[in-house]
Homo-oligomer: A and B are copies of this chain.
Amino acid sequence: MKPQPITIIGGGLVGALASMFFAKRGFDVTVLERRGDMRKAKVEAGRSINLALTSRGLKALTEVGLADEALKLAIPARGRMLHDAEGNTTFVPYGQKDDEVIYSISRGELNKLLLSKAGEYDNVTMRFNQKLEACDIDNGQYQFLDTEANQSHTVDAPVTVATDGAWSAVRKTMLSTVQNFNYAQSFEAHGYKELTIPAGPNGEYQIEKEALHIWPRASFMLMALPNLGGSFTVTLYLAYEGVQSFAALDSKEAVQAFFEKEFPDATALMPDLAEQFFANPTGALATIRCAPWRVGGKVMLLGDASHAIVPFFGQGMNSGFEDCSALGELLDSESDWATLFEKLEAERKPNAEAIADLALENFVEMRDTVADAKFQLKKEIGFELEKRYPGQFIPRYAMVVFHPEIPYAEAKRRGDEQEIVLNELSRGISSLHQVNWELADQLMQQHRAA
């Protein structure tokens, strides 16, 4: 594609990254962001403080030369640390290889890094405090309110990438102006609340540092990811209504009692639990799907704006970064915006659908089956099959998280097939030694044939 001016609406993680995919190819890029410059201000607290950075996100960061710097901000987690109701722990590794780890990273710090690095390009202009007020997509005219100057102005933006997040204002315009626009926003019956386990008196991590901690309790769960500096961000996922619910936790006493009963070890590390609980907002969990993602060659939605998902596979940011990788490849091969946007949607939409479904399924796995003996056995059989049939059998989790060369849609399809094998091999047995490996051979041959 011949370099020309590009407008990016939204300077969050995906918008900041996308700007560099354009800038390094010689495009002049203007990024307009609703909030102030987060490099100068404090990040809003209480929502999605840290994220899991995994191979698909790292691949995109590598393409703009930022993977190493991003990893300096991150802490590896080598597996899940399961906490039972008595405070006993079991460690379950994510994979069998040393590099099969995920990285806990601060959303704010990573976003600042991306903005700083984007700002180093001469051909990237960033404008903050720009609230989108109206879009005339057909004519490429976008009206913004400069919230500092309190003045409206119109931006001429014939080619626009909208990375303005799950509640995208550009998508909202498309919802009311694009004929036959398919749209769905679907909320879970669970919300979430972020809390903090502080660092110990000497700045030490009070629970295992290199792990994603889970307190699975079937209908709800607690999770914790490490931060730089010794603290953990803890997230409670809980139904809004019912016996065990946010509605029932209506007093400090109720919160304290609930946590002490369900998560005694975590509770002991949060002396100000009840204060935190009522100071922090309760977040909602939504899946957003739409089609088309674009209007001709004029505007294209990417990242959460076109495919917001629930966080249970840690792939929201990673899938948005993968959008940028795909965009980069098409910028090198296409010469027409309408075709480029069409191909980008054709490539990314099935994968966005797949990871949306996988993330919903993983919520059940994390809060429920992860603590189950059958689940553990199937995990062990999966690892053994991976050793015996290298390249042919790759556990579903590994395909999604450690194998960016396997698209999400393929990972879902292969994972569904493998699940049949795992169910067959684990039927009626209770340990890995009892597996019928001849049957495994047969099943894997059928699998190969299919």
Contact = CB atoms under 8 A, between A and B. Distances in A.
A183 B180 contact: no
Interface stretch (A89-97, A132-140, A184-192): A184-192
B180 A284 contact: yes
Interface of A is mostly: strand
A183 B185 contact: yes
A240 B179 CA distance: 12
A437 interface: no
A284 B180 CA distance: 7
A147 to B, nearest CB: 20
A141 interface: no
A189 to B, nearest CB: 9
Contacts of A389: none
Nearest to A189: B180
A181 interface: yes
Nearest to A240: B180
Contacts of A183: 183-185
Number of copies: 2
Contact of A186 (B184, B186, B240): B184
Interface string A284-301: 101000000000000000
Contacts of A179: 284
Interface string A164-193: 000000000000000111111111000000
A182 B185 contact: yes
Contacts of A182: 185-187
A184 B184 CA distance: 4
A127 B161 CA distance: 45
A182 B185 CA distance: 6
Interface of A: 179-187, 240, 284, 286
16 contacts: A179-B284, A180-B187, A180-B240, A180-B284, A180-B286, A181-B185, A181-B187, A182-B185, A182-B186, A182-B187, A183-B183, A183-B184, A183-B185, A184-B184, A184-B185, A184-B186
Q: Which 9 A-B pairs have the closest CB atoms?
A: A184-B184, A180-B187, A180-B284, A182-B186, A183-B185, A182-B187, A182-B185, A183-B184, A184-B186
